[in-house]
A and B are shown apart, each in its own frame.
Chain A
Amino acid sequence: MDAVDRTIINALQGDFPVSENPFADTAASLEMDEATLIARIDAMVSDGVLSRFGPLFDADAMGGAVTLCALEVPEADFDAIAEIVNSYPEVAHNYERQHQFNMWFVVAAESRDIVDEVLLDIQGRTGLIVHDMPKQDEFFIGLRLEV
């Protein structure tokens, strides 16, 4: 990641134009050419700096369901349990955290019924209680990172 990549990341965190030539419009405001901008974004996606370039959806507004879950996993079983949890396409993120509740993951699906099925399945396969903590309210901040 060099200075040009940083400029692109800092400038394009939220409001990519919805116009006929959005890359050309953006490139002009960043004083670079369209082909360079497109190639830079493409390379950052390939290199894994960006997980993708596009929209972040509000799953609620789409009629989907999302929840955050915690497990208390015995240290010796951690990798095996992680493999089980990560095998579900509905599991979007999974982090090990330093706490009695040491595995935290997000489950997203098109309905709460499907989320419930996934949680029950995980509970059955791991033998652990899945602590289900669906959001009750979200205080939106608009993630912005200076890189």
Chain B
Amino acid sequence: MNASLPIALVDDLDRRLLFQLEPGLPLAPRPYAEIGNAIGVDESEVIDRLGRLIQAGVIRRFGVVVRHHEVGYGANAMVVWDVPDAVMADAVGVLTANSGVTLCYQRPRRLPDWPYNLFAMIHGTSEETVRAQIADLRAQVPLSGLVHDVLFSRRRFKQTGACYRPRLSLPEKREVA
């Protein structure tokens, strides 16, 4: 479900724009004019390009980036399942329909220590509410019949957001993360 724009459609000016925006939008009445000034283009060009980058999914969300703990979501668990291919779509359907699930990824197993291939993040106001959300998920087919594990977070060492520095020319090849 990646709504990714083919990489060739993100040009050098887009990259400069995104690089300029990465630390955050200027908190001023005409923020897009300020961004434009910094990279040498008009406000209208910035507005056009951002609209396109949002449409294409390169920018996924645009607004507040909250620190969960600081806004009252003090508990989070990563819940993982070992899901056979045949029921993957159904398992994903259950997770993505649940309001407690904030992120959901399929990842490779790392046998023998790590048999899990479907990851869901659950944020809640307390460990108790997160456990209740997990119990609710586990009651539903096909998750009810699958091996799972719950990894509550104990300490957060770093939450900087991806410190991603777009390069100003196109990568030689595109590799999937």
Contacts and interface: CB of A to CB of B under 8 A. Distances in A.
Contacts of B102: 141, 143, 145
Contacts of A86: 157-158
A147 B71 contact: yes
Given A22-B31, A136-B107, A139-B95, A49 B67 contact: yes
Interface string B141-154: 00000000101111
A92 B158 contact: yes
A51 B66 contact: yes
Contacts of B31: 22-23
A136 B106 contact: yes
Contacts of B110: 70, 131, 133
Q: Which of B107, B113, B166 has the most CB of A within 10 A?
A: B107
A65 B175 contact: yes
B59 A48 contact: no
B107 A68 contact: yes
Contacts, number: 277
B1 to A, nearest CB: 5
Interface string A47-73: 111111111111111111111101010
A101 B114 contact: yes
B86 interface: no
Interface in A103-123: 104-106, 108-112
Interface residues of B, number: 84
A8 B166 CA distance: 30
Interface string A121-145: 0000000000101111111111101
Contacts of B159: 51, 92-93
Contact of A97 (B21, B28, B152, B158): B152
B163 interface: yes
A34 to B, nearest CB: 6
Nearest to A66: B177
B84 interface: no
B142 to A, nearest CB: 15
Interface string B49-76: 0110010111111111111101111000
Contact of B10 (A63, A66, A92, A131): A63
Nearest to B123: A145
